[in-house]
């Protein structure tokens, strides 16, 4: 069961995973050892899945975001496995979601420029049969965060 201090630790670590335990402990009014034990418990219990560094997309040479909408006529386990194999090793594909509604999957791509999508498109259609595949370029990001709300955590 999480308490308010645990939730605050999770919020602070999501904002800056490199925050020193001493600074974190001070912000949540705990001793360094008590704070360290809580962080370890949060990791052991799976609340903290991993710690990562987020790159600046423009400086990384990947300023373009594209969303690819996929529809398939096949909904078999073997098609899904083919699809997973086709997308898993493409680093430009940063997210893939199976959807409800009028399309089956949405892919989020981080690209250096719009034209780079063509290579990924060709590689995908070579490996997997699609009913329909279409792409849209994101013109502007209105909100992007990696921070999850902690009020729902149990």
- CATH code at 31? 1.10.10.10
**pLDDT, tens digit (0-9, with 9 covering 90-100), for 126-149:** 999 999 999 999 999 999 999 999
Q: What is the pTM of this model?
A: 0.89
What pLDDT, on a 0 to 100 scale, did the predictor assign at position 48? 97
Task: Domain count for the chain, please give it.
Answer: 2
Extended beta strands in the chain, E state:
64-71, 93-98, 105-111, 132-137
Q: What is the rounded distance in angstroms from the CA atom of residue 55 to the CA atom of residue 135?
A: 24
Q: What is the rounded distance in angstroms from the CA atom of residue 116 to the CA atom of residue 110?
A: 10
Q: Are residues 40 and 72 in the same domain?
A: no
Q: Are residues 37 and 69 in the same domain?
A: no
What pLDDT, on a 0 to 100 scale, did the predictor assign at position 24? 97
Q: Kindly state whether residue 147 falls inside one of the protein's structural domains.
A: no
**pLDDT, tens digit (0-9, with 9 covering 90-100), for 68-82:** 999 999 999 999 999
């Amino acid at each position: 069961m999480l308490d308010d201090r645990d939730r605050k630790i999770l919020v602070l670590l999501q904002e800056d995973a490199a925050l020193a335990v001493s600074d974190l402990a001070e912000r949540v009014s705990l001793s360094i050892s008590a704070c360290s034990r809580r962080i370890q418990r949060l990791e052991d219990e799976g609340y903290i899945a991993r710690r990562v560094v987020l790159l600046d997309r423009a400086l990384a040479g990947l300023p373009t975001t594209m969303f690819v909408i996929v529809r398939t006529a096949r909904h078999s386990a073997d098609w899904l496995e083919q699809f997973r194999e086709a997308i898993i090793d493409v680093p430009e594909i940063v997210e893939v979601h199976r959807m409800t509604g009028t399309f089956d999957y949405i892919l989020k791509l981080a690209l250096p420029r719009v034209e780079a999508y063509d290579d990924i498109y060709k590689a995908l259609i070579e490996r997997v049969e699609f009913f329909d595949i279409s792409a849209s370029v994101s013109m502007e990001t209105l909100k992007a965060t990696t921070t999850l709300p902690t009020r729902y955590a149990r």
